[in-house]
Amino acid sequence: MSALTQLTVDAHERIFTSDSRLLRRIVRDRLFRGYHAERTIEMWPSVRRGETRHIFPFQEQSDAIFNSALVYEPAVLKIYAERFLLEVPTQSPSFPEADRLLRFLALFVPVFAEALFGGGMAALREAKFSEAIGHLVEYIRLKPTDPQGYLNVGKAYLGTGAFGDALAAFVRGLAQGGDPTVRQELIRALWDGGLQALTRGDPRSAIGFLSEYVRHDPRNFSAYLNLGKAYWQAGDRFQALSAFRRVLELSPGHGEALQFLQGVR
């Protein structure tokens, strides 16, 4: 496997595979291994010696060769690598290499917000909720009026059980307006959050989600039924009975709501 990019700087200068790989390593080490760019650059000659001795002589014997380079990769890596390289002290032996890489990255326009959103969505699909939150919170800072950011960071918060943060995200997303389809997804997310909280034995959080939900869908008797159950579990009988009465207004003769109301007589 190697990063054999097809990009060139101009008609005469190509982009070195080793530069792409070093930038990848700098970003990986800083984000996931706690190493600063200075240390990664210091270790790079040792990495190159190892591959020259143990990999390159045998590459023709491999069963398959995979090119992992992506056309947009430098523009995405720039978002992270640039600030990590700026951390290298000017007196460090790694500084000349860091400075060279910074000048190389200056040739690219960063794909910033979109990269953060894409990274957040990828992490969310893999149920890496904390990672998704990190990406999407940064995305929202750059795109504070995009309801999609709030919708998906809310889903990530739900994945971690942070119901208060999830509710706040969904409410802020609804406040942005925008695409009616996204708005319906946000309203549905309030419903899902309410049911999750109720199932996990957190009636106060369920009340928050479902109270907000019925503001947007006031004729959904199932929402009022679950809201009543949440109030009941929280010990607030008055609000619970009020919710059950609303269920009967919307669905006369509803058996479960009647059972709650008749049980307190």
Residue-wise pLDDT for 36-84, tens only, equals 999 999 999 999 899 888 777 877 888 888 777 777 778 878 888 988 9
Q: Does the 127-263 domain belong in CATH 1.10.540.10?
A: no
Question: With b meaning 16 or more CB within 10 Å and e meaning fewer, what string describes 53-92?
Answer: eeeeeeeeeeeeeeeebeeebbbbbbbbbbebbeebeeeb
Residue-wise pLDDT for 229-249, tens only, equals 999 999 999 999 999 999 999
Q: How many helices (DSSP H) and strands (DSSP E) are in the chain?
A: 13, 0
The arithmetic mean of pLDDT across residues 132-161, rounded, is 91
Tell me: pLDDT of 172 over 90: yes
**How far does the chain reach from its first CA to its final CA, in angstroms?**
73
CB 156 within 8 A of CB 143: no
Tell me: pLDDT of 265 over 60: no
The arithmetic mean of pLDDT across residues 121-142, rounded, is 89
**Extents of the domains making up the chain:** 17-105, 127-263
Confidence of residue 264 (pLDDT cuts 50, 70, 90): low
